[in-house]
Structure 1
Amino acid sequence: MTRTEYRWLLPSAMADPELPDDRLRGRRTVRDWAVDITAFLIAAGIGLLALGTIEADETTADVVVFVDSVVGAVACCALWLRRRWPVGLAVALTVLSAVEPVAAGALLVALFSLAVHRPFKPVAIVGALALALVPLQPFLRPDPTTGYLASVIFGALLILLVISWGMAVRSRRQLVVTLRERAHRAEAEAELRAEQAQRLAREAIAREMHDVLAHRLTLLSVHAGALEFRPDAPAAEVGRAAGVIRDSAHEALQDLREIIGVLRGPGDADEGHRPQPTLATLDALVAESRLAGMKVALDNRVTDPGEAPAATGRTVYRIAQECLTNARKHAPGTEVSLTVDGGPGQGLTVVVENPAPTEPFERVPGSGQGLIGLTERATLAGGALEHGPTKDGGFAVRARLPWPAP
């Protein structure tokens, strides 16, 4: 238990916050009426027992019995004010009980209510006053059936018991309030964490969209530009370019459907979704780029690409895809070399290089987010990625990814 939790359990003056029911509400609830009626009946019952003891004493005058009855009834009725003025009522009944035994029941109820609805300091002050006046009542109105010392001890024990019980009830209510606040706080924090996780998931999806769709859309841009600048091209070449545009658009739609599918519920998943790319599908990526007119030299030195870990193979594929897309946009007409080397226990090394373009071309704007996404992918996979211009004006990307030994 922490120090803060312990302070909630102790009725100390330093840590005793106000409870929701410490102040009088505008209107009593059904529960308030039930509690108030019960308190009135308990006080009246104790007062009737005290009045019966007084009437049993033949030396007591009738006028004294009548006055005691009236005072006891007024004290019990005054308990209906205990929610509005608990401290003042407890002090008044404490003073009254010093000379009036019939008001003892109302005093006990008032002290209990005070301990429940007020912090420790006023309870301690009123309780000390009640204990100080305990010896006065049996001295002024002695009970013929009970000794003086026994009356004092019994009265003090009753006061301490009632106050302790009230303080225990208040501590329990404080604990319940604290646990309820913590539950609300935990729910709010859980909602914030869920929103943050959703935001991070959306950012990851956005990066995935960039990596996947940029490759397809670049193919569309290249072939559409070729058709635009060469309207007199042979029909076979135009047909081939149109076919690549159609296939690239279809693949882009498939990739988009695959990425958006992660936002669907478990029962809404598309049964026809395609498998994620791996190191074994790297040849298909290179073939697709060559079909689009790129010059790509692939040197895959991995003996068995199908044995590579799925996450590592997918990362290699995305790195190659993004690098080919960037080369197609920023260095068209150059030959891109793609080298993959490594094995179990050695890790995987991916190197993509392209020389500086030698012919003028229309530059395609780029955001630079692709290389940032590749760096994050490599880091999340447990590796590292470096990129930058080469000495001859080209560009190179080097990545090192783990491949644990079997």
Structure 2
Amino acid sequence: MGEVVAARPHGRLPEYRWLLPAALRDDPDAPPGPRSTRDWVIDTVGFLLALSWALLSTADLLQPHPDVLPQWAGTPQWLVLSDLLIGVGFAVALWWRRRWPVQLAAAALVFGLFSVSIAIAALIIMFSVAVHRRFAVTAVVTLAGVLNNAAFCAIRPEQGTTWLESFSWGVVIMTIVQLWGMIVRSRRQLVVSLRDRAERAEAEQQLRVAQARALERTRIAREMHDVLAHRISLLSLHAGALEIRPEASPAEVAGAAGVIRASAHQALQDLREVIGVLREPAAAEPPERPQPTLHQLPALADESRAAGVKVRLDVTVDRAADLPAGTGRTAYRIIQEGLTNARKHAPGTAVRVAVGGTAGQGLTVDVRNPLPVGRAGPGIPGTGTGLIGLAERATLAGGRLSHGRGPDGDFVLRAWLPWPA
């Protein structure tokens, strides 16, 4: 009747679930569910054992010569027949031992005061109590069983054996059965506990994966904010130039239209990438868009110059190839946002970009431009959160960022990013 079941990882029950007892598929203290195949086999074996003992223990006593078993000599025929009926009845009652173990144990203790054929069924019922009920209930039933055994040995003494010997053997057998049942219960509770812990760990792991995916998508969306803001600012700048210069030559109009078309095409391409990332479920290895670093700063400056912005780029980075990719990407985004803000709020001014640093001392980024005297063209709308996002990005990278009017009257965007040695 003992069960030995190993817990499987990730909280999943094995494919041979039908071999498990119902207690391992549900709460051991809850009402039992449908029997598994294993439960049917065990219940059938228990029923056959109890029924066989009931028939064997009374078969010889029902013969015309009861002295075949001298230890039970003188037992009335009606008592033997009643004993048989009681044994058969409790053998049948074993099919409900999981649902009402305590009630059946109480009934078995009452009839067990004078019944011999109930012995095997009573032991199986007491085993069920130890398996399916807590220790306090099991202890009370066991104590009642000991008292019942003492009374039975006095009411129906066995010839050739003292009361103490019969009582002692009954207590030993009952103790072994109860301890066995408590071991089975403890083992089942351990397996259920391990299964629950595995299920919780798997659920927490899935939650962490979902959170990681959401954070990654949020990060990509923020990246695309910087990229699209840069592209669209170029579109707005060239469109504004065409608007305020209706007398521009066809060549100038064609050049501006070419820049607008290229910037619009690139913005649509970037937008398509980020929408695809945010819409598609993340795979085992989600595709990532190319991330710019300091090596793309000349191209960024040339793009701004093509839009009519005067950009002076000064990069003095020692061993730039050793710069961490994350630090280089953060510096690129800071410079990109600085150029975008200069085109929005100070069109026509010269922007100076200085990048320098070495390993162990960190990387410094300085973007500055004179504050505008007047309005040179139509304003470019913005969300007003670009610098806030940059400050958050720099903080997450372990650095710091500041912006505002400098001592010389220029608007200064300055950042420091860590660069481990």
1:106 and 2:121 aligned: yes
1:366 and 2:398 aligned: no
* Cα offset, 1:378, TM superposition: 2.2
Q: Distance in 2 between matches of 1:73 and 1:122?
A: 26
Q: What corresponds to 1:329 in structure 2?
A: 344
- The equivalent position to 1:97 in structure 2, one of 112, 115, 135, is 112
Q: What corresponds to 2:295 in structure 1?
A: 280
* Cα offset, 1:62, TM superposition: 5.8
Instruction: State the one-letter code of the partner of 1:320.
Output: I
Q: Deviations over 1:307-359 (max 9, x none)?
A: 53333222222111110001111111222111122223332211111221112
Instruction: State the one-letter code of the partner of 1:39.
Output: G
Q: What corresponds to 2:27 in structure 1?
A: 19
Distance 1:82 1:276, change over 3 A: closer
Q: Distance in 2 between matches of 1:136 and 1:62?
A: 19
Q: What corresponds to 1:69 in structure 2?
A: 84
Q: What corresponds to 2:69 in structure 1?
A: 57
CA contact (8 A) 1:216 1:249 kept: yes
* Cα offset, 1:257, TM superposition: 5.5
* Cα offset, 1:261, TM superposition: 7.3
* Cα offset, 1:211, TM superposition: 1.1
Q: What corresponds to 1:350 in structure 2?
A: 365
Q: Distance in 2 between matches of 1:256 and 1:51?
A: 89
* Cα offset, 1:214, TM superposition: 0.9
Instruction: State the one-letter code of the partner of 2:102.
Output: V
CA contact (8 A) 2:231 2:264 kept: yes
Q: Distance in 1 between matches of 2:208 and 2:283?
A: 19
Q: Deviations over 1:150-201 (max 9, x none)?
A: 2111100111111122222222222222223223322322222222112111
Q: Distance in 1 between matches of 2:98 and 2:54?
A: 21
Name stretches of at least 5 consecutive residues in structure 2 with no aligned partner.
1-25
Q: Distance in 2 between matches of 1:133 and 1:343?
A: 89
CA contact (8 A) 2:50 2:87 kept: no
Q: Deviations over 1:64-116 (max 9, x none)?
A: 43333233223323333434432122112112212222211121111111222
User: How does 1:295-334 map onto structure 2 within 5 Å?
Assistant: 295-302=310-317, 305-334=320-349
Q: What corresponds to 2:391 in structure 1?
A: 375
CA contact (8 A) 1:134 1:152 kept: yes
Q: What corresponds to 1:135 in structure 2?
A: 150
CA contact (8 A) 1:45 1:105 kept: no
Q: What corresponds to 1:201 in structure 2?
A: 216
Q: Distance in 1 between matches of 2:318 and 2:118?
A: 98
More displaced, 333-342 or 46-55? 46-55
Q: What corresponds to 2:174 in structure 1?
A: 159
Q: Distance in 1 between matches of 2:125 and 2:321?
A: 82
1:44 and 2:51 aligned: yes
* Cα offset, 1:234, TM superposition: 0.9
Where 1:215 maps in the other structure, the secondary structure is: helix
Q: Distance in 2 between matches of 1:382 and 1:206?
A: 21
Distance 1:43 1:260, change over 3 A: same
Q: Distance in 2 between matches of 1:316 and 1:356?
A: 23
Q: Distance in 1 between matches of 2:212 and 2:156?
A: 74
Where 2:416 maps in the other structure, the secondary structure is: strand
Where 1:349 maps in the other structure, the secondary structure is: strand
Name stretches of at least 5 consecutive residues in structure 1 with no aligned partner.
1-17
CA contact (8 A) 1:208 1:259 kept: no
* Cα offset, 1:20, TM superposition: 5.2
Q: Distance in 1 between matches of 2:149 and 2:323?
A: 88
Instruction: State the one-letter code of the partner of 1:308.
Output: L
The number of residue pairs the alignment matches comes to 384
More displaced, 84-93 or 389-398? 389-398
Distance 1:170 1:404, change over 3 A: closer
Q: Distance in 1 between matches of 2:198 and 2:99?
A: 31
1:401 and 2:417 aligned: yes
Percent of pairs with identical residues:
53
* Cα offset, 1:218, TM superposition: 0.6
CA contact (8 A) 1:261 1:269 kept: no
CA contact (8 A) 2:349 2:372 kept: yes
CA contact (8 A) 1:94 1:129 kept: yes
Q: Deviations over 1:251-279 (max 9, x none)?
A: 32444466567666478859xx7x53222
Distance 1:124 1:211, change over 3 A: same
Where 1:293 maps in the other structure, the secondary structure is: coil
Q: Distance in 1 between matches of 2:186 and 2:140?
A: 18
Q: What corresponds to 1:10 in structure 2?
A: none
Where 1:373 maps in the other structure, the secondary structure is: helix
Where 1:386 maps in the other structure, the secondary structure is: strand
